[in-house]
């Protein structure tokens, strides 16, 4: 449990998360904002503001970025079929070539250009190891909703095509 002392109030962040999940589950189930507010004893405008705060897209664009990706061709095919708007994936060999073929300034500019482009998308799916994925996510948030797809355990840079397809499908609807 995480409690926060704010003035004379004690706020439970776990309770906030539970109520938020209830609101979203009830709304997804078809209840109106007012019905949800009445059922949970909260204000209808809170439900509206919560939805606005968490809104990822209304038909917005999706990007997928990942490196190193061992099964790049397979994942690119999934991304094309799923209607992903922009894909940037590098195999281990391509990643090293990308790094080694550029001077420091050229590498910096290439990375900054990629980050600027990704910030134009409402949803960015990152395929990568935990630490690099978190760093990359920090660079494109808060402009984009970032989803990290972890590699398949026990592999060297392989990601589940089925998991990518399901994630893209989920954020697309």
Domain range holding 129?
62-172
> In which residue are the tokens 């606005």 written?
52
pLDDT digits (tens, 9 = 90+) for 91-110: 989 989 999 999 999 999 99
pLDDT of amino acid 30: 87
pTM, whole model, 2 decimals?
Answer: 0.62
Q: Which range scores top for mean pLDDT: 57-61, 100-104, 115-119? A: 100-104
Question: Does the structure show a pLDDT above 90 at 59?
Answer: no
pLDDT digits (tens, 9 = 90+) for 21-55: 999 999 988 889 999 999 999 999 999 999 888 76
Q: What is the DSSP string of 51-77?
A: HHHH---SS--EEEEESS-TTHHHHHH
> Domain boundary residue among 17, 34, 54?
54
pLDDT of amino acid 58: 56
> Domain boundary residue among 15, 32, 54?
54
């Amino acid at each position: 449990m995480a409690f926060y002392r704010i003035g004379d109030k004690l706020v439970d962040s776990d309770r906030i998360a539970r109520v938020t999940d209830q609101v979203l589950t009830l709304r997804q189930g078809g209840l109106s904002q007012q019905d949800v507010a009445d059922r949970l004893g909260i204000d209808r405008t809170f439900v509206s503001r919560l939805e606005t705060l968490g809104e990822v897209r209304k038909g917005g664009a999706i990007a997928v970025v990942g490196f190193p990706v061992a099964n790049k061709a397979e994942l690119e095919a999934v991304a094309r079929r799923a209607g992903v708007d922009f894909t940037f994936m590098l195999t281990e060999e391509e990643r090293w070539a990308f790094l080694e073929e550029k001077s420091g300034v050229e590498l910096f500019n290439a990375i900054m250009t990629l980050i600027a482009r990704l910030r134009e998308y409402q949803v960015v799916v990152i395929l990568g190891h935990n630490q690099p994925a978190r760093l990359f996510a920090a660079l494109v948030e808060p402009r984009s909703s970032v989803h990290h797809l972890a590699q398949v355990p026990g592999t060297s840079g392989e990601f589940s095509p089925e998991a990518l397809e399901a994630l893209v499908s989920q954020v697309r609807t």
